[in-house]
Amino acid sequence: MTDINPMVCWLAVQAEESQKMLMLGKVIHELDKIKQGMVKTTTLNSPTINDLQDCCVASALECFRSQVNHLSVTDSKLKRTQKFIFNELRKKLIVNAVSTCKSEEKQKAQCKSCDAYKKVDDGIFVENFQTLLEKIYASQV
């Protein structure tokens, strides 16, 4: 049986963590671009920071991700940015970062479905989305 060098394992973990941080940072940055380029007000269901129990972060993130393409932008670059955010937040690296609850804890948490959250205008939606992403980012540091 071969011994695995602990330094190699540590470096592999660090590389994955760095990749996760880079992805989250890029998504936050791209979401800010969308915020600056929205053209009209739409209303979307939005979890708030008060709604976010630790075990519900994954479902809240999925709620935001599922609605990001509904933000009102007309610029083709921003439409690509929406698709980028949508796709990045589906990657296992991000999903696994927020899915840390044990199944019995998750059952007790009683996370809401996306349509159960209050509808807010798109500016507040983006702010709430950014707050969640920053919370996830900070928990990874």
Could you list the pLDDT tens digit for every one of the 141 residues in the chain? Answer: 455 655 544 444 444 567 778 888 899 999 999 998 988 888 999 998 877 776 888 889 999 999 999 999 888 999 999 999 999 988 887 877 776 676 666 666 678 899 999 999 999 999 999 998 888 888 766
pTM value? Answer: 0.80
Buried/exposed 51-79: b ≥16 CB within 10 Å, e otherwise: bbbebbbbbbbbbbbebbeebebeeeebe
Please indicate, yes or no, if residue 49 is contained in any of the structural domains: yes
Instruction: Supply the CATH number for residue 117's domain.
Output: 1.20.1250.70
Instruction: Look up the domain containing 100 and give its range.
Output: 6-140
| Burial degree of 15 (CB within 10 A; 0-12, 13-18, 19+) | exposed
Residue 123 lies in a domain: yes
What is the count of structural domains for the chain?
A: 1
Examine residue 95 and state whether it is found in any structural domain, yes or no: yes
User: For residue 4, what pLDDT is reported?
Assistant: 60
Please indicate, yes or no, if residue 51 is contained in any of the structural domains.
yes
The length of the chain is 141
In a domain, 1, yes or no: no
Residue 86: inside a domain, yes or no? yes
